[in-house]
Amino acid sequence: MSTTATLVTGGAGFIGSHVVDHLVRDGVPVVVIDNLSNTTRRLIQPHLDSGAAVLHELDVLDTDAVAEIMAGGVGRVIHLAASVDMRVALENNWIDIEQSILATRSVLEAMRHSGVGHITFSSSSTVYGEPSIRPTAEHHGPMLPISVYGAAKLGAEGLISAYNHLYGIEGAIFRFGNVVGGRMNHGVIFDFLRKLERDPKRLEVLGDGLQRKNYFLAEDCARGIIELAHHANGGVLVANLGTTDTVTVTRIAEIVLAELGLDAEIAFGTGVRGWPGDVPVVEFDLSRAHELGWTASKQSEEAIREAVRRLIQEESHG
């Protein structure tokens, strides 16, 4: 068993709880920092009860408190704490600046002062904006995000690069496609299920339904960021994680209806975007992750169907 702990910021959330599951299975002591603003203790409660993980309920913007926790025996940081839904920031985009750029700077400062030498960061396909080349590889540029969410993620990536060069902090940056699975509390699948609860006869789709993106399971995401991080080799690794295929929003709606056994009308909106800043097509070049030994266990449509089934089961069990 590892003698040093891994600190997971945002570790009580959707992706974070899957990361904690993976670390605990590997016998790694886990320290979680989460302000519980978008989740509860429930997703990691079994690990808290067993003593395999410890939760500190605080905001990562409290640099001194985070540094004190790190000084207690943390060997590396998996930094997942962030705003999770870019639509939330359409009215007040300060949340993305604060929760991505300033929060990452706070975590990096705490690492610098406590001597922790590695950070793994959850970035996003949104940093690419609307790339001219698809499938899009990590070296694509210039990257011109079309949302403050994407701009803030890109800014956080820049800070990690700077702290590597200035202070020797190793970084692994993973740009996620759309992560799906059980425990979700946002995203297109979650939204569709909530809409159909309210009206099982009609399903409203934001945009024309032709938006297509890649989707992969949360446990595959967790496995990727844990198993590939060591390839940073003292520098900064940047890698896409997702699937090589894509699924349209229309197809997702059809899968949700089929799994629920409903025959509802699908009502489409107008325009190619679901909301301002939405990137209609996300298609990844995954050569780097595949060369490093990681592939998703299911392609996009299989992952969508599995996520729908898990969420329905969770709902039926309260």
pTM assigned to the model: 0.96
DSSP assigned state of 43 = G
pLDDT at 87: 74
CATH of domain 5-179+217-241: 3.40.50.720
pLDDT at 3: 64
310's tokens: 């898990």
Amino acid letter, 125? S
pLDDT at 318: 61
Buried b (16+ CB within 10 A) or exposed e, 273-288: bbeebbbbbbbbbbeb
pLDDT at 85: 74
171's tokens: 């970084």
Residues with Cβ within 8 Å of residue 40, at least 6 apart in sequence: 12
Nearest to 98 by CA among 166, 149, 64, 146: 149
Report how far residue 124's alpha carbon sits from residue 17's, in angstroms, rounded to the nearest whole number: 18
pLDDT at 106: 98
Helix or strand run (H / E) with residue 159: helix 148-167
Q: Which residues does the chain have with pLDDT short of 70? A: 1-3, 318
Omega of the bond leading into 142 within 30 degrees of 0 (cis):
yes
pLDDT at 2: 46
pLDDT at 88: 75
pLDDT at 89: 74
Omega of the bond leading into 200 within 30 degrees of 0 (cis):
no
Catalytic residue among 149, 163, 167, 215: 149
CB 159 within 8 Å of CB 169: no
Known catalytic membership, residue 149: yes
Phi-psi region of 93 (alpha: psi -120 to 50; beta: other; left: phi over 0): alpha
Residues with Cβ within 8 Å of residue 6, at least 6 apart in sequence: 23, 28, 29, 30, 31, 74, 75, 76, 77, 78
* 3-class state of residue 256 by DSSP: helix
**The residue to which tokens 């886990």 are assigned:** 30
Q: What share of the chain is helix, strand, coil (3-state, %, to 5)?
A: 45, 20, 35
Report how far residue 278's alpha carbon sits from residue 284's, in angstroms, rounded to the nearest whole number: 16
Domain range 181-213+245-277+298-316, CATH class: alpha beta
Ranges of each domain in the chain? 5-179+217-241, 181-213+245-277+298-316
